[in-house]
Structure 1
């Protein structure tokens, strides 16, 4: 089968389309013939080994895991001996974030509990946009943010892959949502449900005097003191992204101190945990059209390098899709 591999760290030039062995599913796995995948910042960070800490997990000098791609959507080709929830021909979506990636390929083996039936109203391409980004948004808002209906919620980075899902999930839960994005994306962020929008090129949401019950920061470009100023008493801030290592350490250390000594909580969200319950929750929201994937561009599997290069510009509106079938 064909798959994207990288045997050294670097720019998207290191990505190669190669013939590799087709996987065989283990007893608790499902072999999926992939129709589409999607690119995430995770992919270019692993590809470039940035931050440098990524090398501690995937090899100091060269990658131990040479595969990329967390999100997948396709049809079940084969099932392991202990699989009970899927059969050959089922249309599924899910992700490989916790089990070695490999979505940029024609086939992949996926644990049964990391898959769900594809939403009936979505194409494979639209379904592939969902898993990692939407799970990040959901778990950040719910687990770290402790989101509740009626709250005032701000989404920083509202036009990106994670941010577009965060806006819609927060609205579906019944909150008043403010989205922060650039001028070119104001209309789009309003169109997916934001009650208010802030153009970050003209206004700093941490210095306009307004405060929020919950801030979900998908960018990580503000200091802890800035975020603290924008939070109400007993407010929570869940940070899902970071712009550099200094900011990551500041949010982890200083944010932790603020959380321990005051009424406000600020911190990096935990690494997402793939589970069928959350995938099924997202499936329900998608089928009810309470959330709709926002897709910017499509690339073929042999154009994965171009897709990653575009994603690295940080200008993508919503998701970037890799078509395989």
Structure 2
């Protein structure tokens, strides 16, 4: 099968299209013929090996798992002996630890769900990581309730475009922070107010929010605390941080600060499950949430997709088309 692999850490240039063996599945796994995959910040972390602390899990000198990609949407090719939820030819979406930038990938049954009927495979492929991060960050960690105010920092990004829609579905008053060129997009997703970060610093506006979901990491914790209510919550969902520890230093400082103040400073739960995917499918099929795709790339141009993601300030989501319906029929 064709797959995007890398045998060393580095820029997107280390990614290459190669022919490798199909993955074998365990009794609890599903073999998926991949139709599309989504691009995430995690793909850049795995590819670059940055922050360096991540290599303790990924491989110190070279990646343990050479095939990249986490988000996946496709058709079930085969199921393990213990799998009960899916059968061959089911259209599914979900997450894998690594390996969705390939024609076939294996995934545990409990990390998949039936694909939303209203979405294309490309649209479905960009949902799992980003939409789960938004849903769990807002509802489960942030405990967002109807009538509360929430600010989404990075509202035009992959997590942010889902967060704006999910927050509105939860009944919140939503403020989105983005650049001027993306303001109309964020408004179209349901934001009640949009702040252009090139013109206004929301941490110095004097307004306070019940919840801030920060997917950028471009403000200090002190500044962010100034923008939440005395008993409000700050959820850190991303941020690049330093070369060695990445965002870990910031996360540790946030958790320690929470012990001594009335505000809650924390990170998202990020627990993968079929139940969460089912909830997202219901939101999507009801029309409350729609994935926003900026661009799609063929599998052979995955390196270009990752380059665009990291260098061009990509908005919303990027999908990789792995195979077509005609390919799947062969």
TM-score relative to the length of structure 1:
0.96
Q: 2:218 matched to 1:202?
A: no
Gaps of 5+ in 1: none
Runs of 4+ in 1 over 6 A off after TM superposition: none
Aligned equivalents of 1:263 and 1:22: distance in 2? 52
The CA deviation string for residues 129-179 of structure 1, in whole angstroms up to 9 with x for no partner, is 100111111111123211111110000000000110111111100000000
Aligned to 2:278: 280
Aligned to 1:316: 314
Aligned to 1:137: 134
Aligned to 2:328: none
Give the deviation of 1:257 after TM superposition: 3.0
RMSD (Å) for aligned C-alpha atoms: 1.2
Closer, same or farther: CA 289–90 of 1 in aligned 2, 3 Å: same
Range that drifts further, 84-93 or 260-269: 260-269
Aligned to 1:251: 250
Gaps of 5+ in 2: 324-330
Give the deviation of 1:64 after TM superposition: 1.4
Contact 1:251 1:267 in 2 (8 A): no
Matched positions, count: 321
Give the deviation of 1:249 after TM superposition: 4.5
The CA deviation string for residues 232-280 of structure 1, in whole angstroms up to 9 with x for no partner, is 121000001113238834532332233111110112334x221011000
Match of 1:206, SS state, is: helix
Closer, same or farther: CA 247–76 of 1 in aligned 2, 3 Å: closer
Contact 1:251 1:268 in 2 (8 A): no
Closer, same or farther: CA 41–71 of 1 in aligned 2, 3 Å: same
Match of 1:143, SS state, is: helix
Match of 1:65, SS state, is: coil
Contact 2:67 2:99 in 1 (8 A): yes
Q: 2:113 matched to 1:120?
A: no
Q: How does 1:23-62 map to 2 (within 5 A)?
A: 23-62=23-62
